[in-house]
A and B are shown apart, each in its own frame.
Chain A
Amino acid sequence: MIEIPELALVALVGVSGSGKSTFARRHFAPSQVLSSDAFRGMVADDENDQSASADAFDALHHVAGIRLRRGLLTVVDATNLQPHARAGLVRVAREHDVLPVAIVLDVPEAVAWERTQGRADRTHGRQVLTRMQRDLRQSYGRLAREGFRKVHVLRGVDEIDAARIRYEKLFNDRRELTGPFDIVGDVHGCREELEALLLRLGYVLRRDDAGRPVDAVHPAGRTPVFVGDLVDRGPDSPGVLRLVMGMVAAGHAICVPGNHEQKLLRKLRGRDVRLTHGLAETMAQLDAEDPAFVAEVATFVDGLVSHFVLDGGRLVVAHAGLKEEYHGRASGRVRSFALYGETTGETDEYGLPVRYPWARDYRGSAMVVYGHTPTPEPEWVNNTICVDTGCVFGGKLTALRYPEKELVSVPAVKEWYAPVRPLVAPAPARPDAVLDLRDVTGRRHVEHAYGTLTVPAENAAAALEVMSRFAVDPRWLTWLPPTMAPCSTATADGFLEHPAQAFADYRAAGVDRVVCEEKHMGSRAVALVCRDPDGGPFGPGGGVVHTRTGRPFFGPPLDGELLGRVRAAVGAAGLWAELDTDWLLLDCELLPWSAKAGGLIREQYASVGAAGRAALPAVLATLDAAAGRGLPVGDLRARMAARRADVEAYSAAYRAYVAPTDGLAGVTLAPFAVLASAGASHVERDHGWHLDLADRLCAADPGFFTVTRRRVVDLADASAEADATDWWLALTAAGGEGMVVKPYAGLAARSPKGSLLQPGIKCRGREYLRIIYGPGYTEPEQLAALRRRSLGRKRGLALREHALGLAALAALADGAPLWRRHELVFAVLACESEPVDPRL
């Protein structure tokens, strides 16, 4: 039986004809085996071309490295008889912090020679084989020294044939433990506080005859996890060790070592260790203990594993934290990182090493909980948290309840030890507020709660420009509205869009109830408003109002005034308390259109109208004069007269969206969805709830907010549908843009088959569409051509952006790290650079 780690680089060692390939085939999947012959074939079209060996091994090492990085067991099928060949494999294994393992296949030379002769593609002579046998003999003594952590030798054909492989887990792999856990920060000999914390967490302590605690059990079966640094500096390191060792021995707790345990072990082993940083206190305390206990301590510390991967890989605990590449890996440097962290090689003004802020760059999905660096308050940084709150320095002892993510602390009894460096208050800005280019650029596969999206590199490049040049601070940019598809093209005479198709679209998708919301013709405005006008959880500022592409809406100071009005209305409507939140994310339309788009209206829309209104009367006058002379201009005149009427109608259409404003005077906001608040995404709430809250804002400040008129339609009820259609006709006849039809169930509504539905379908008015499709789009031949429009691309885009938006709201509610939230919002913007017909 051969035992190898689940993740390892396995080198098969043996002469030509020793049966390596057969062995590999029998015990491993073809994809796990990298054969030097195959790589020679790949790079040289000839498996036996020895001149290609260097290139072939280059490629083999590269592929092996990629597999190991991805956490895949890899077997190398080559003779591996030369030290330099094996050194290359050991190097690849070390680079990826996996264990190199050797399996030696040793068959009698005669057997190997017989097999070689039986193969047409092997032409080397017997003397080559003899030399290989000599190399093999010499290899035996070297393998372990070369760095192979396990060397299995199979002698003879029978032993090789009988061999079976068994996989063993790494010591750090405790994924089967699912908790719940209580992860305890650095104790440093503070036994009294540890007892208090355990009691506070609900544990029952068991004491020995001397009254000393030696075990603790939780009635609900919770497991304490100690992040190390149990000893040094504090008043009772032996007491802490006795309790923790007892719990670990009883299987009631798990523990990783800290750098202080490591140093203590070296001292106990008689090494020359300086008695600094509180080790002197520990040694003095241990002097009073039974030597047998001290020996137990040494054995305990020696047996500790430097980090654990827990709960199916969702939780990692290490004393000084652990970067993602090292999770579940085993090597000297992984252990060193777990114990000491990574330092920059510099020291600060107190002479202490400057630690590299690995957590700031952490992008892993596993939560990492660690200690080592005392801070006054634990803070989440990219799904990592340091729970060392400096108890021994007079701070407190803290535990993180997992999976609840709750912090529980007890204060220190006193300052047991004076800190070299004062415990500083955390900096005002979160350290993860800085984004890295790697978070957003290149071709990206964005996996999220609602699916997976591939962002092409060129779309990311375009979005990068918009995002970095024009958008608001990423901390405030929590969500972007998805683009919206129109209803299927109408069949009714004279219409390109009509409610009948919007209803039919949802009916076909299995929806039974929809809400028709008036589509305000203004500018989309997303408002993130904090209760505190200067602060809030997103950084200083109190909120932001941005456009559908993430730009500041009007810019200062108007955006601040606008937020002030929203903040006041939210307060007056009682929503802060009701939703138990200090911030709200609102989806709104800001009216009138001219407030934000005045330049566009004058430059583009009004200009076209001015040209048309001036040109067509002149043309008609000319034609009338020509008609007076008897020229046959009838058809042309009729066409030009129709065109004149179209231009007048077009002018009326854009004029409806122009109203005088001065600062915020004349501006109103029409909210229609409450997307999220502290700890909650509201996408599962139905639109009745959203509109009710919107109505309350309107009631709180009717001068500033505009009500969104709506009709709820049961799609089985033909009369309700007819009523809603009449309502739409009246609305659009009066100059309204149209309506948006949404599944009543809410933003995240799904079809009966479980797939996400379009969150809304727009159904735009006949007159409004003149400013989209051109003044004369209603002319029969134009309309006929436009009816061939294709909606598939737009619908697909709308759904992809919608799914990203839902994921962004979920990430916001979960308090996900900034890079993750930004990745999702960025992807929405990247989708927007997809080429789609802008008229849809």
Chain B
Amino acid sequence: MLLTLTTTHRPATDLGYLLVKHPDRMHSFELPVGAAHVLYPEADEQRCTAALIIDVDPLRLAGGHGRGRGHRQAATPDTFTLGQYVNDRPYAASSLLASALAKVFRSALRGESRDRPELAAVPIPLEVRVPVLRCRGGGELAERVFAPLGWAVTATPIPLDEAHPRWGDSRYVDLTLTGTLRLADALNHLYVLLPVLDDAKHYWVAPDEIDKLLRAGAGWLADHPERATITRRYLAHRRALAGEAMARLAEQRLAEEPPADSVAEEDRAEVPRRPALALRRREAVLAALAESGATRVLDLGCGPGALLSALVGDRRFTEVVGTDVSAHALTLAARRLRLDRLPERQRDRIRLWQSALTYRDDRLRGYDAAVLMEVIEHVDPPRLPALEDAVFGHARPATVVVTTPNVEHNVRYEGLDAGRFRHADHRFEWTRAEFAAWVDRVAATYGYAAQLRGVGDDDPEVGPPTQLAVFRTTGGAPTAAGTEEKK
């Protein structure tokens, strides 16, 4: 991993004073994951370059000593578990480089210089090169984060594999920044923005990172047009931390340049406002449940519990059961519902169970209503009959509410390529006719009567974005085929 810093300020060798590293010596430092070296490939009166080389020790990076340490696999065994042993960290600039920068150039980063204090305080011509930077968002994002700070940016994409030209570019760029800036500012920019572009922190992000960010970003971050992205990524996408940091940044702006009354509006204007479809879907489902008169309800495939909280908040439901096949989703749902802090009487209304909709589950029998909200499209079509049997045949609630996307409406979504589904895990998305056919067949097989509705604005041409069906048992027992031989 390499970063070079060049100046053509005369005498250029003054760079050595600013960095407190003599150009004619090699300087080495121990890091938690290896060693950092500062050396000068060129150093004369016109031009002087300092290079920071990080020699990463793969053994230390893997966090063990080559011993097979047990690592729990993700729920999907096909995910790449070798990533901790085969990765780009020894080569690409990252938060490791930023940490090294802070350690090795500590006083320069603060703008201090014992020998050349006046030079440290003024802009000098600088050129920074990072030959391999993982840049999530591409060279264009590099341009957007560095250019507002006074840098001329050249980000040259690196091909993924010269042996396979058809693969195109890799996620790495060869980054060159030129500009006339105070050295300390340049270093602070790199300290914050290299990890932001890399977007993969090598350490656990703790709340004190906010202070580090605000300190390094002093004087430039609060006004940066990409401050939201920078903050979010720097804080490793931890929403609570990013929110706090943004609030403190806004305070800084207010303190520094009153009165800036347009700030809040600007921020809000970034997101187009209209009633979110998810919210309208929840409302439609709640309305259908209310009509049914159900008091004991199942939210099948509840996920992290968006609908559950709405159900729990409605006193007419005396028992609310959320099921999901993902134990992790249930943990999130429990957290969202604050299950461990609810009073006992409230807690007793709620149950969270791991269950899979392709298996029969006796616990789900005897409820008034079940909701399958945006669930069926996550099931492979050949497995749908098993779901139908488990829900309509076995659990057999009096009312079943099903929602699923209307694929015809997809043409109304900008940025959704033709033929693509709305979610990567969708196994299918149905037209209105396809959904209606499924609803009819299921209702006939299992002794239900069904009614179709739409959710969201009903587009005259392509229909509403979401389709909804309400099934009600018709009272009579299902046909013999429904109990004994149905599949």
Contact = CB atoms under 8 A, between A and B. Distances in A.
Given A622-B2, A838-B73, A839-B68, A606 B170 contact: yes
Interface stretch (B244-252, B286-294, B354-362, B400-408): B354-362
Looking at B87, B358, B385, the one whose CB has the most chain A CB atoms below 10 A away is B358
Interface string B382-419: 11011001100010000000000000000000000000
A438 B390 CA distance: 13
Contacts of A623: 39, 41, 53
Contacts of B88: 607-608, 611-612
Contact of A838 (B71, B327, B354): B71
Nearest to B480: A348
Contact of B171 (A607, A618, A622): A607
B155 to A, nearest CB: 13
Contact of B86 (A602, A772, A835): A772
Interface stretch (A151-159, A282-290, A421-429): A421-429
B16 interface: no
Contacts of A782: 58-59, 66
Contacts of A552: 380
Nearest to A347: B477
A428 B479 CA distance: 16
Contacts of A440: 359
A786 B66 contact: yes
B32 interface: no
A467 interface: yes
B77 A833 contact: yes
Interface in B141-162: 158-161
Interface in A425-472: 426-431, 433-441, 458, 461-462, 464-470, 472
A428 B58 CA distance: 58
A473 interface: yes
A602 to B, nearest CB: 6
A685 B83 CA distance: 39
A668 to B, nearest CB: 20
A428 B170 contact: no
Question: Which size bracket describes the interface of B in this complex?
Answer: 35 or more
Contacts of B315: none
Contacts of B385: 429
Contact of A774 (B53, B85, B360): B85
A610 B172 contact: yes
Contacts of A793: 68, 70
Contacts of A621: 41
Looking at B355, B382, B394, the one whose CB has the most chain A CB atoms below 10 A away is B382
A433 B487 contact: yes
A160 B42 CA distance: 110
B360 A636 contact: no
A426 B485 contact: yes
Contact of A622 (B51, B70, B76): B51
B389 A434 contact: yes
Contacts of B131: 614-615, 618
Contacts of B72: 833, 835
Given A436-B359, A629-B41, A789-B67, A604 B83 contact: yes
B356 A467 contact: yes
A549 B78 contact: yes
A609 interface: yes
A567 interface: no
Interface in B345-363: 354-362
Nearest to A775: B86
Given A631-B25, A772-B82, A428 B2 contact: no
A605 interface: yes
Contact of B477 (A344, A600, A622, A630): A344
A342 to B, nearest CB: 12
Contacts of A54: none
Contact of A470 (B76, B382, B480): B76
Contact of A354 (B83, B91, B480): B480
Contacts of B86: 604-605, 608, 771-775
Given A354-B480, A838-B71, A466 B158 contact: no
Interface string A620-654: 01111110111111001001100100010001000
A28 B37 CA distance: 82
A781 B327 CA distance: 41
A788 interface: yes
A629 B16 CA distance: 15
B66 A785 contact: yes
B101 interface: no
B206 interface: no
B163 interface: yes
Contacts, number: 254
Contacts of A346: 477
Contact of A629 (B43, B58, B356): B43
Given A438-B362, A608-B88, A832 B53 contact: no
Looking at A436, A541, A607, the one whose CB has the most chain B CB atoms below 10 A away is A607
Contact of A633 (B39, B85, B479): B39
A776 interface: yes
B486 to A, nearest CB: 7
Contacts of A398: none
A629 B70 contact: no
Interface residues of A, number: 102
Contacts of B67: 785, 788-790
A658 B1 contact: no
B75 A462 contact: yes
Interface in B1-30: 1-2, 4, 24-26
A73 B85 CA distance: 59
A626 B485 contact: no
Nearest to B481: A427
B99 interface: no
Nearest to B360: A436
Contact of A466 (B51, B77, B81): B77
A622 B85 CA distance: 27
Interface in B83-112: 83, 85-88, 90-92
Looking at B39, B76, B486, the one whose CB has the most chain A CB atoms below 10 A away is B39
B41 A473 contact: no
B55 A639 contact: yes
A776 B485 CA distance: 60
B461 interface: no
A122 interface: no
Contacts of B119: none
A435 B359 contact: yes
A431 B91 contact: no
Contacts of B479: 348-349
B132 interface: yes
Interface in A408-430: 426-430
A461 B326 CA distance: 8
B170 A611 contact: yes
Given A437-B356, A604-B86, 11 more contacts: A354-B480, A357-B483, A427-B486, A465-B327, A473-B386, A602-B167, A606-B170, A622-B41, A623-B41, A626-B26, A787-B66
Interface of A: 344, 346, 348-349, 354-357, 426-431, 433-441, 458, 461-462, 464-470, 472-473, 541, 547, 549, 551-552, 600, 602-612, 614-616, 618-619, 621-626, 628-633, 636, 639-640, 643, 647, 651, 655, 658, 771-777, 781-782, 785-790, 793-794, 832-833, 835-840
Which 5 residue pairs of A and B lie closest in terms of their CB atoms, listed nearest first? A837-B68, A785-B66, A429-B487, A427-B485, A625-B41
Interface of B: 1-2, 4, 24-26, 37, 39-43, 51, 53, 55, 58-59, 65-73, 75-78, 80-83, 85-88, 90-92, 131-132, 134, 158-161, 163-164, 167, 170-172, 174, 325-327, 354-362, 378, 380, 382-383, 385-386, 389-390, 394, 477, 479-481, 483-487
22 contacts: A427-B481, A429-B485, A431-B484, A441-B354, A462-B75, A467-B356, A547-B78, A603-B80, A607-B172, A611-B132, A614-B131, A615-B91, A622-B39, A623-B53, A626-B40, A632-B26, A782-B58, A790-B67, A794-B68, A837-B71, A838-B73, A840-B68
